[in-house]
Each structure stands twice: as C-alpha cells, then as structure tokens.
Amino acid sequence: MRAEIRLRHYSLRTEQAYVDWARRYILFHGKQHPQALGAEAVRDFLSYLASERHVSASTQNQAKSALLFLYREVLKIELPWLDEVIAAKSTQRLPVVLTPTEARRLLDATSGTTGLIVALLYGTGMRLLEGLRLRVKDVEFERREIVVREAKGNKDRVTVLPENLILPLRMHLEKVRALHERDLEAGFGEVHLPDALAVKYPSAPRSWAWQFVFPSGNRSLDPRSGMERRHHIHESSVQRAVREAAKLAHIAKPVSPHVLRHSFATHLLQAGYDIRTVQELLGHKDVSTTMIYTHVLNKGGRGVVSPLDR
C-alpha cells in the first residue's frame, strides 16, 4: 500500500492516514484479508466509526477514501459496490474568527520564533504547515510577497508579506543561516527536497536557498529515507503556543493556528478588499469557499439592525 501511495506522489500525511485506516479495518474484522470482505464489511466499519466512535463526517469520509484506495489501487479489485458506499454528509460550520482587538492581544501574548510564526500566519493567511514548510528562496523581501509552494491541491500561490515582519524575518534568517553553517561544518546541513529534485540538483539540499525558514532545534531521521536531517518545527509546538497565548489574552473562543487564517480573510473583507483578491490570497479553488467569511463580518447578524436597537 505504501508503494502504491508513493508511486502517486501522495504526501507523507496521506500515506500515514491511509495505512492506518487499512490497518484498523483489518483489525476490526478479526484480521481477515480485505480480499475476503465485501460491501457489507466496509459499511459495517464506517457505521462503527459513526455510531460507536462518533467520528466527524470528514473523518468518516477519509476512512472511506482509504478503503477505496486499498481495494482499487492495491488489491486491484474493481467492484461495483465501491461507489455505492454512502459518503457521510459534511455539515458546513461558520469559522471561528477573532476580532482585530483579540488578534492584537493574541499576538502580544506570543514571543520568540513561535511568536514570529503566529504573526506570519495572521499576516499572510497561510495554513500552519504552509508557513512551517516555507523555504528561504520563497520569501521575496523586495517584492513584499511570499510564494506558497505545494499548497492544498498541490498548487502554488502568492500571498502578501507584511511590512511589519520584514525586519523580524531578516533578523530571524540571520540566526537560521548561522545554524545552517554549523550543520555544514558538522557534516550535515542537507534538507528534504520534494520529488527527485535532490537527484537532479545534487548540491541543492545543502544550499541556503532551500533551507526551511523555521528549522527544528534538533536534527531527526527522515521517516522514508532514514537520513539524519534538520526538518522544520513541528506543528504541535505552534498549536500549543497559540492555545497558551489565547489563555493569557483571556480570549473565550477555541483558538488554533487555523483561526488566524479565518481572521486574516475576514479582516481583509472588513477593510473593503474585493472577495476575488481574498480568494487568490487564500488559494481557494472556488469563490463560494471564500464567501463563508461574508457571514462573519463585523456587522451583526446578517448585517441587520435589531428592532430592539431601534
């Protein structure tokens, strides 16, 4: 299954999730081979996830996708019942959005490298992993822009680089460069490159341009190649820092790094920017996805004045 996933250049996250769902499915049915199971077995497993494990619709659909991949691509079984397995209906929820005052309080409650990451997420609208996977070469200081590579859907896009972050980012990169030079002196300094770029450009993994803007404090072993490298900061450390900052700022909302992306979009729309511009900055495929933020603009419920206020 891993071989088929890597053949299609799926991400490591997808590989881990799909393999885990296949393992759970096999264990759920008493370690029977999936080839001996059919539509009822898949339905029973998905029903168990919903009724007993109470997973969300998106999690249930991810499990279904993993099982479809297992049967179609790994076992090469093309059965008509695969398409008939009902997908769970996802419900659309309004995103949690901070007010500008709350966003300012949250940023004031952070510091250091994580504080810089939090400010960058709010100032650019990037997803957490997009920010952490940022390479030195993709930060354009003179053009005041950031190139987001291999974002959701494996698409590239350009977003704004906030003026207030130019100096802090330059100072941060000076420290990162010193760390990279120490790694090179110690015989390390290589970074993971996507696809076969490391084969095409043998010197690229050690070059400064390809290094992560936010490297981890420790080197680690690559889960696929086994090489010792310095990867980017783990997302859990940023998630934890945001939760702690929200407590310090006394924000009575569930705050995560993704809330900063929602806040970025909403605050741009409040400032009068065109929704198409916001769509491009966020990298949404369809403008209807961006339209969700028009429902949480700071105008009261649906922009009306309550009769009580009259």
Query: Residues with catalytic annotation?
Result: 127, 152, 258, 261, 284, 293
- Determine contact, residues 206/184, Cβ cutoff 8 Å: yes
Q: Helix 39-51 to helix 12-28 angle, to the nearest 10 degrees? A: 100
Token look-up 């429902």 returns 295
- Catalogue the E-assigned strands of 151-276: 157-160, 220-221, 228-229
- Other CB atoms within a 10 A radius of the CB of residue 7 amount to 9
Report the C-alpha gap between 304 and 270 in whole angstroms.
16
Residue closest to 63 by CA, chosen among 23, 29, 93: 23
d(CA 177, CA 147): 20
- Strand partners of residue 158: 147
Sign of the alpha-carbon dihedral angle for 19, 22, 24, 30? negative
CA distance 210 to 159: 19
Q: What is the DSSP string of 176-196?
A: HHHHHHHHHHTT------STT
CB 17 within 8 Å of CB 1: no
